[in-house]
Amino acid sequence: MATTNDIKNGTVLKLEGNLWNVLEFQHVKPGKGGAFVRTKLRNILSGKVVDKTFNAGLKIETATVDRRDYQYLYKDGDDFVFMDTTDYDQITVPGATVGNAENFMLESQMATIAMHEGSALYLELPPSVVLEITYTEPGLQGDRSTGGTKPATVETGYEIQVPLFLETGTKVKVDTRTGEYLGRVNE
């Protein structure tokens, strides 16, 4: 058992039978009354974000979460197969757990998977990935300075908005949290 003084960003708490990931926390000591800890928690399974306040020194139950780097191998139906590069063990992660990360994953890419009691809780990708544009409408002469965007399909099949001057075959950097175009990658 831990206390509210042990809360840090990334800590996983067991509350009311659910697992909650601490996104933000703040220790508050008002002039009157007892100290307390204000937190923002995300339910690991549903993704719901809530604000919760704990009295200082309150005993809380933390969950043991093992975060490891895995290499993405392939998609098997609705599931995804990953391999631990240290011992070559393979694990299957349900599509619901992978969620939107599927739009940014290429085979042999590394991802961090949080495991609790043998089941995958969530998957973390790097903040940005480099993907190649597989299809976009050709840009017209003079489109380079207008600042407009057009849809482009990247190699994972995901569609993003890119500047008008980009063409098919261009490698671009994409934000894995928002799906936004971050820039062109010159190789």
Token pair in block for residue 187: 């190789």
Final residue of a structural domain among 15, 38, 62: 62
- Domain limits for position 36: 2-62
Q: Where are the alpha helices (DSSP H) in 95-161?
A: 95-98
Nearest in space to 133 (alpha carbons), one of 107, 160, 164: 160
Same structural domain, 115 and 97: yes
pLDDT of residue 146: 60
Distance of alpha carbon 52 from alpha carbon 36, whole angstroms: 11
Same structural domain, 6 and 57: yes
Same structural domain, 8 and 41: yes
Per-residue pLDDT tens over the stretch 74-130: 999 999 999 998 899 999 998 888 888 899 998 889 999 888 888 888 888 888 999
Distance of alpha carbon 64 from alpha carbon 17, whole angstroms: 14
pLDDT of residue 145: 57
Same structural domain, 52 and 11: yes
Same structural domain, 7 and 57: yes
Per-residue pLDDT tens over the stretch 153-175: 999 999 999 888 888 899 999 99
Please tell me the pTM assigned to this model.
Answer: 0.70
Percentage, residues of the chain above pLDDT 90: 32
- Count of Cβ atoms closer than 10 Å to residue 74 Cβ: 10
Give the number of domains in the chain: 3
Q: Report yes or no: 175 and 162 within 8 Å, Cβ to Cβ.
A: no
Per-residue pLDDT tens over the stretch 23-68: 889 988 888 888 999 999 988 877 788 999 999 888 999 888 888 8
Per-residue pLDDT tens over the stretch 56-67: 888 999 888 888
Look at the chain and count its residues: 187
Q: Report yes or no: 162 and 131 within 8 Å, Cβ to Cβ.
A: no
pLDDT of residue 64: 84
Q: Is residue 143's pLDDT more than 60?
A: no
Distance of alpha carbon 56 from alpha carbon 5, whole angstroms: 7
CATH code at 109?
2.40.50.140
pLDDT of residue 182: 92
